[in-house]
Amino acid sequence: MADSNLADTLNEIDLCIRAGRLADGRSKLRAISPKAVAKNLRAQYARLSWRLGIAELGLRALSRAVREDRQASPEERAEYAACLNSIGSTQEAHTLLLDEESPCAWTSLYEAFTQISMWDYSGAGQTLERLLETPNLMAELPSYNRLVARVNRLACLIVDENWDRATTEWNELHRVVSKENHTRLLANLQELRLQLLYGTKQFKKARTLIEKGSNLEGPERLHSLKWSTLIETASDKSAGPEPLIALKDQALREQRWEMVRDLETRLALHFKNPLFLKRVLYATPWPKYRTRLLAQFAQPVELTETFDYRFLPEEHELKLSGARNRGNWYEVSLSSGRIARDLTLKEGFLSYRTMRALTADLYRSHSVGSLFGTLFPNEHYNPFSSPGRVHHAIGNLRDELTDAGTPLTIEHLHGRYRLSTAKPTILHLPLSVATGKTGLKVEKLAWKFGAQQFQVSDAASALALNEKAAQRLLKDAVESGYVARTGSGKATRYQITSSQTGLEHAG
């Protein structure tokens, strides 16, 4: 295909995305081989790929230039990072953007996207603020992407509960987006409007907005039901948790995992329920999310090294089976290699790391990219070889779970993986999300010392190691970002970082 024809096709695909015709866009982009894309069109091709949810195409188009030849432009490196973020390799994407020596507007925009993916909305808002206030960078972005930046900043304002500014920004954005008739952005603004009305307790206006979409079908129907249930619960002081619990069960049956997380979070906060709070804390891996949730709960919560998470085939099966006696539950421990009575996995080895990776987030299914980033944190994702390594790791663990006669299995759906169980199971979940040998040892230090500083001798005593072994461990831990080091010589002190404990340190 000639470059001019390919450029026209890519522009057509862009219009499909803006109009919400994603299936048409995917069909057109899949018909273009990554190898056939000329250098001057690679960044645009990659941008379209991640926007359409087929980021592997963009990674294949750019991987050689970014990771091998190192001849990629700043825009191409930014698009490669956006593709990584889209497949779940968020930390690698974030690092690539932060290491950019010649940042462009796309670098800043996608840095904010990675921060949002890690639930760092405050940081993302600051990144977007700097971008929007820098005229020469904003001039690099097409008008549509400037609106995208503003819509994402609006989302950050709402999460940070900056209601007055968010209301002003929403009104202005809605006027512009409606005039230009950007279908996808209008849908985003509709969702943000509901969040804004709910947060400012304008329930009557929220009900009116929901009623306009009362004839929705498919996934949108449950989304509308979620908001109407939340609003009725919040506006009725005598309302109990039953409607939200029933909605959560329905979302679970329909495999709307993120909605389940959201509803359990709201159950925890609205009804001050510590059980739901701990379920979300221990089954969610993002430190920023956990820290924000604890701050919003605004009551003392005792966090233990592990939490007994009830993991069910389906929520209603607990009621049907009557399996309320703990003796009827299968038990799985994730804090040591002794996973269950019939299964032992060597700590730090691949199957153990895979098990920890799958249980770090029990709400969403795991993409190949996210699993690779967790299993091999010091390696770059390779679109040609990395998927095979992840599939191999999953296959090995699946065989071990089956051979040991456990009720656990690993589901594979639409290219993503999720742990499931055939009978009621108690997962003893650690708060830490570490999987490697160093991280697992530092995990023990985290519970011993918390945010307090400690010396090599303290670590050696806590781990039953000699001081030379403890020193090697701490050196690796510092390089991996698990531990911060200050001072020198006899004044050297160490402190656990939030990446290990799964929480942001106060102060």
CA angle 29, 34, 40 (to 5 degrees): 95
pLDDT over 80 (residue 286): yes
* Mean pLDDT score, 445-472: 87
| pLDDT per residue as tens digits for the range 404-415 | 999 999 999 889
- When pLDDT is cut at 50, 70 and 90, the band that residue 222 belongs to is confident
Residue 140 has what pLDDT?
96
Give the residue from 484, 482, 473 showing the smallest Cα distance to 500: 482
* Mean pLDDT score, 277-302: 90
pLDDT over 90 (residue 171): yes
Contact 257, 265 (CB under 8 A): no
Residues in CB range of 317: below 8 A, 6 or more apart: 424
**The pair of three-digit structure tokens given for residue 139, joined into one six-digit string:** 């001039």
* 69: DSSP letter: S
Contacts for 332-335: CB closer than 8 Å, 24+ residues apart: 332/406, 332/408, 332/425, 332/426, 332/427, 332/428, 333/306, 333/428, 334/306, 334/359, 334/427, 334/428, 334/429, 334/430, 335/305, 335/306, 335/428, 335/430, 335/443
Q: How far is CA 233 from the centre of its chain?
A: 27
Burial readout 56-82 (b: 16 or more C-beta within 10 A, e: otherwise):
bbbbbbbbebbbeeeebbbbbbbbbbb
Domains of the chain: 304-433 (1.10.10.10), 437-501 (1.10.10.10)
- When pLDDT is cut at 50, 70 and 90, the band that residue 269 belongs to is very high
Residue 287 has what pLDDT?
86
Residue 325 has what pLDDT?
54
Average pLDDT of the residues of the chain: 89
Residues in CB range of 177: below 8 A, 6 or more apart: 147, 151, 185, 186, 189
Longest dimension (CA), the chain: 70
Contact 118, 94 (CB under 8 A): yes
- When pLDDT is cut at 50, 70 and 90, the band that residue 326 belongs to is low
Most confident among 170-174, 178-182, 215-219, 444-448 (mean pLDDT)? 170-174
| pLDDT per residue as tens digits for the range 96-150 | 999 999 999 999 999 999 999 999 999 999 999 999 999 999 999 999 999 999 9
